[in-house]
């Protein structure tokens, strides 16, 4: 039996995104992909054995990384993580819906232990727009575009996570409770599983084009800007390697999509020895600076597309 108190809490959760924004047009960005969009950047864990003494986590990066001066806005004067009221996020991680002001912790882990690209992305777009911003994040680890996210027009069976992604976005938009909103951009950070398969890599460009086409059709937004983040894990790729071949497929696909931009990210890779998860190269070694810089670049890419569209 649901008690009156729990009912009240559920109501607050459902309306929390809209109460302070009533009547204001909301800029909506969809952030989608697999585990690196989910977020694997460590915030503060610093166990000597499990997290390399904290090297490369967010707390460490704010003191020691090359980006430390660019990160100062993430904490307030009391050293607490900033929570923005003008930028909100909706994310369903491990079947649990989370909504609220942008801050650390909107990842599949729950709590405040990790970050993804959404953190700095939200700060970039939030600083730019006068109206409120909503980030809808929908991501799952270990999923391919060839199978899991396969779009309807690619042929074959539509991927179950394509369907789940669309459902989660629609649910988050419905929670705006009729507030005016504009879909301002779709941000895609995905590719590891496809990179590991020559067959998936070979069809990635065409699948990406179909994906963009179908998402735009789903939301009746034919001009929806698409921002594609490079699979930059590991830094520069060896010419002719699987990673190099996959990145070229990402570029080709993006180039064939109107109003799309490809964002290089390989330069944001940091060495394992200066990162908290030394064995997780597929997750940027858990390096928070990497995720910060990826989010920053994706945000600036989105604004560049929007600026071009406005003719300014």
Average pLDDT over residues 59-72: 98
C-alpha–C-alpha distance, residues 209 and 257, integer Å: 6
What is the 8-class DSSP label of residue 131? Answer: S
Average pLDDT over residues 226-251: 98
pLDDT confidence bin for 16, thresholds 50/70/90: low
Q: Which domain holds residue 206?
A: 4-310
- Does residue 33 carry a pLDDT above 50? yes
- Domains in the chain: how many in total? 1
pTM: 0.92
- Does residue 48 carry a pLDDT above 70? yes
- Does residue 138 carry a pLDDT above 50? yes
Kind plus residue range of the DSSP H or E element containing 218: helix 204-218
pLDDT score of 17: 53
Integer-rounded Cα radius of gyration of the chain: 19
**Residue 266, helix vs strand vs coil:** helix
CA distances from 246 to 5, 154, 204, 218 (A): 51, 18, 8, 27
Contact between residue 138 and residue 59 where contact means Cβ atoms under 8 Å apart: no
pLDDT score of 70: 98
CATH number for the domain harbouring residue 258? 3.40.50.1110
**Sign of the torsion formed by the C-alpha atoms of 59, 64, 66 and 70:** positive
- Does residue 101 carry a pLDDT above 80? yes
DSSP letters along 145-191, please?
Answer: TTTTT--GGGSSSPPHHHHHHHHHHHHHHHTTTT--EEEEEEEEE--
pLDDT confidence bin for 19, thresholds 50/70/90: low
pLDDT confidence bin for 24, thresholds 50/70/90: confident
CA distances from 186 to 222, 226, 288 (A): 12, 5, 23
pLDDT score of 20: 56
Contact between residue 196 and residue 156 where contact means Cβ atoms under 8 Å apart: no
Average pLDDT over residues 212-238: 97
Largest separation between any pair of C-alpha atoms in the chain:
62
**Residue 239, helix vs strand vs coil:** coil
- Does residue 18 carry a pLDDT above 60? no
Contact between residue 211 and residue 151 where contact means Cβ atoms under 8 Å apart: yes
pLDDT score of 284: 98
Share of residues in the chain with pLDDT > 70 (%): 91
Contact between residue 283 and residue 42 where contact means Cβ atoms under 8 Å apart: no
pLDDT digits (tens, 9 = 90+) for 141-182: 999 999 999 999 999 999 999 999 999 999 999 999 888 999
pLDDT confidence bin for 93, thresholds 50/70/90: confident
pLDDT confidence bin for 222, thresholds 50/70/90: very high
C-alpha–C-alpha distance, residues 10 and 128, integer Å: 32
Closest C-alpha among 4, 10, 11, 15 to residue 178: 15
State the chain's mean pLDDT as an integer: 93
Q: Residue 26, CB half-sphere, CA atoms under 13 Å: how many?
A: 29
pLDDT score of 13: 44
């Amino acid at each position: 039996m649901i008690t009156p108190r729990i009912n009240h809490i559920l109501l607050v959760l459902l309306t929390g995104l809209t109460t302070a924004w009533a009547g204001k047009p909301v800029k909506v960005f969809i952030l989608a992909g697999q585990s690196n969009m989910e977020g694997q950047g460590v915030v503060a864990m610093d166990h000597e054995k499990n997290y390399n003494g904290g090297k490369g986590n967010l707390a460490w990066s704010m003191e020691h990384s090359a980006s430390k001066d660019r990160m100062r806005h993430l904490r307030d004067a009391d050293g607490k993580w900033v929570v923005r009221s003008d930028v909100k996020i909706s994310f369903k991680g491990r079947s649990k819906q989370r909504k609220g002001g942008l801050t650390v912790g909107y990842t599949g882990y729950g709590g405040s232990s990790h970050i993804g690209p959404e953190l700095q992305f939200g700060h970039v777009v939030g600083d730019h727009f006068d109206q409120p911003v909503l980030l809808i994040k929908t991501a799952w680890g270990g999923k391919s575009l060839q199978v899991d996210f396969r779009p309807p027009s690619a042929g074959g069976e539509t991927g179950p996570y394509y369907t789940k992604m669309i459902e989660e976005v629609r649910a988050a938009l419905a929670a705006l409770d009729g507030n005016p909103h504009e879909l301002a951009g779709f941000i895609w950070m995905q590719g590891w599983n496809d990179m590991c398969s020559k067959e998936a890599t070979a069809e990635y460009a065409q699948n990406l084009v179909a994906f963009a086409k179908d998402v735009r059709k789903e939301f009746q937004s034919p001009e929806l800007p698409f921002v594609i983040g490079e699979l930059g894990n590991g830094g520069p790729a060896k010419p002719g390697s699987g990673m190099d071949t996959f990145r070229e497929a990402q570029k080709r696909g993006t180039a064939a999509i109107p109003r799309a931009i490809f964002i290089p990210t390989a330069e944001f890779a940091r060495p394992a020895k200066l990162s908290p998860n030394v064995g997780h190269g597929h997750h940027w070694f858990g390096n928070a600076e990497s995720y910060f810089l990826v989010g920053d670049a994706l945000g600036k890419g989105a604004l560049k597309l929007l600026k071009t569209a406005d003719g300014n």
